[in-house]
Each structure stands twice: as C-alpha cells, then as structure tokens.
Amino acid sequence: MPNLPPLPRPRLRRPNPAGDADAPGIVEVDDPKVVEASGLRWIHIEDPRLAHREWLEQHYDFHPLDWEDVYSRNQRAKLDVYDDYLFIVLHFPFFEKTSGRLLTAEVDMFVGPDYLITLTEHPLPPLQAMFERMEAREELRESTFSKGSGYLLYRIVDSNVDAAFPMLRKMANKLDQLEDEILEGRSSEIVRDISNAKQEIINFRRIVRPQRAVLRDLERTKQRYLAEEMEIYFDDVSDAAERIWDTLENYKEVVEALESTNESVITHRLNDSFRILTAASVILLPLTLIASIYGMNVPVPGEGEPYAFFVIVAFLALILGVLVILFRKRGWL
C-alpha cells in the first residue's frame, strides 16, 4: 500500500496519577479501559461509539479514513502504514455460546511507539482474558510492556490466532461424529448437520483467507517500534495462520467427501426401495392379469365348475412361487 501523507505524531494527555496509588500501573479513565506500564499504554474499547471517538480524538491525531474503517460494518482485514503509527484491521472467529454458531469479531488496532489501542465491536474472549491478566498481574504487565508496543501487538495477535486451534479441534470432532453416524445408518437424519458443518468451514475460510496476507505484510513491516528482532515473532504468527488455512483446506475436502458419501448412501437406499417395489409390481402383474380375466362378465374356461376357484388360486400361487425363486436367483429381491 502506498504511504499516505505524513501526520503529526499522536499526542496523549497524561492523566494525573495521584488517584492511582492503590493500583500502580493501572490508569483510571472514565470510559475506555486503560493499562499502563514501562511507558507503554494499552487502551481497550468494546463496542466503540461516538463518545469513544470523541475521547480518542481529544488525545490522538489519527487519519479520518481510519475512523471510517473503525465504524464500517463491511471492512476487510488490512494494514495501513503511517509515519508515526500503524492501523490494523483483523478478524477472528469465535463460537457464540447461546446459538453455537461461528461468528466473526473485528479488532481494529492503532499501534504507536508508546501506545496500543484495540477496538472491538463484539467481545472477543482471548482478547478480554489477556487484558484482564495484564490488569491483575503487575509482574506480567511489566515484563510484557517493557518490550515495547510491537511485542504487545504480537502477544495480542498470537493469542487470538492460537484461539482458533481449539475451534478447529471441535470441528474435527464434529466431522468424526458425522462419519460415525453415516456408518451407523443415520444418513437421512444428519443432512442438516453436514450442511451446518460445511457452512462453518466456509465461514472460517472467509475469515482466514484475507488475514493471511495482512499477517505476512505485518511480518515485513519495519518501524522503530517493530524492530527487526520482531520479524521472527510475526513470522511465527504467519506460520500459525498458514497451518489454520491448511487445516481448513483439509476439513473442506473431508466435509465434501462426507456429503458425497451421505448422498450416495441415501441414493443407494432409495434404489433398494425402488428395486423391491419394482420387483413386487412385476411379480403381481401376471397374477393381476389372470384375476382380471376371470373377473370379466364373459364365459371363461371352468366357469360353473365346483373346483374351478381352488384350481385358479393354486395356479396363481404356483406362478407367484416361480417368480419369487427366479427373482431371488437374479438378485432382484
């Protein structure tokens, strides 16, 4: 992406630390959540609204297009490089507990030399857990923040990327269960389950595909707060994203094979049913023909004879037996 015009360095007003004696390193701010240590500040905002934007605009100078991206509902993963900060948009999957559906959470990040700002529209469990750990554990906060905003960015991205692997294992268990149910003869009952699993894989792929390029670009980005030694860290994240993509490619092939197998089993069962019904119809056809002839209101051989009925029934039974034996030898029954 071409470099945009240079912007003034983002400015931050330092709050008075006088009221911070009980919790050193944690800055009390009315609305956004803020954690600070070693000269680095992490600001986390969930469900950003206009008031949050006004608060941030009072403290920082960011490009207006970045704010449009933050409040856009259809933003793709991207990385914008400015002279004084990075603007990153990433998407991460998460399972909604109430519905069990796979949803997408967007994380917008502003990364500068002494700050990192994260904005999320939906609560993202790995990000929330990490922020809470930084709040609660001073030693962890100091050791992480002392390595700079680039390392904190790596920890955030890495924790959310790694959170995808348990989801993949859950999807693998679901595919194994579907395979077992197909073999157990429940093909007709799991058509919807296969469709749901296929939709989950498609949604997962839709999230990961554009993000791979952004992570590769982040690996190559050189800023003074993303030093060269950070390249190996972001290379590890990029490798994890590639492993996720390869796993999804495998799952895509598996679910397509399961769907094809399930359809084949259903079709085979229908063919068996039609084969049996067709054989029964062919067997009953000559019996129906003979019975129809003797049911006509015209003189027929044996009419009026006392044993004619039993002879006809015996003849029909003989034909039925011969046809059943013949069909069984041919494998049609």
Domain residue spans in the chain?
A: 1-159, 163-297
pTM for the full predicted model: 0.72
Say how far apart CA 198 and CA 16 lie, in whole Å.
53
Per-residue pLDDT of the chain (333 residues; tens, 9 = 90+): 333 333 334 444 444 444 443 444 444 444 578 888 888 899 998 888 778 888 888 888 888 888 888 877 767 888 888 888 889 999 898 887 777 778 888 899 999 888 999 998 888 888 988 999 998 888 888 988 888 888 899 999 999 999 999 999 989 998 999 888 887 777 777 888 888 888 889 989 988 888 888 888 887 776 666 666 777 888 888 899 999 999 999 999 999 998 888 888 888 778 777 777 887 887 788 888 877 877 777 677 766 677 777 877 888 888 888 888 887 877 766
Please identify, in words, the CATH class of the domain defined by 163-297. mainly alpha
- What's 328's DSSP letter? H
- What's 226's DSSP letter? B
| Tokens found for residue 158 | 């890495």
Contact 57, 132 (CB under 8 A): no
**Type of residue numbered 311:** V
* CATH for the stretch 1-159: 3.30.460.20
| CB crowding 49-83: b at 16 or more within 10 Å, else e | eeebbebbeebbebeeebbebbeeeeeebbbbbbe
| Residue 231: per-residue pLDDT | 76
In this chain, the answer to whether the domains covering 1-159 and 163-297 adopt an identical fold is no
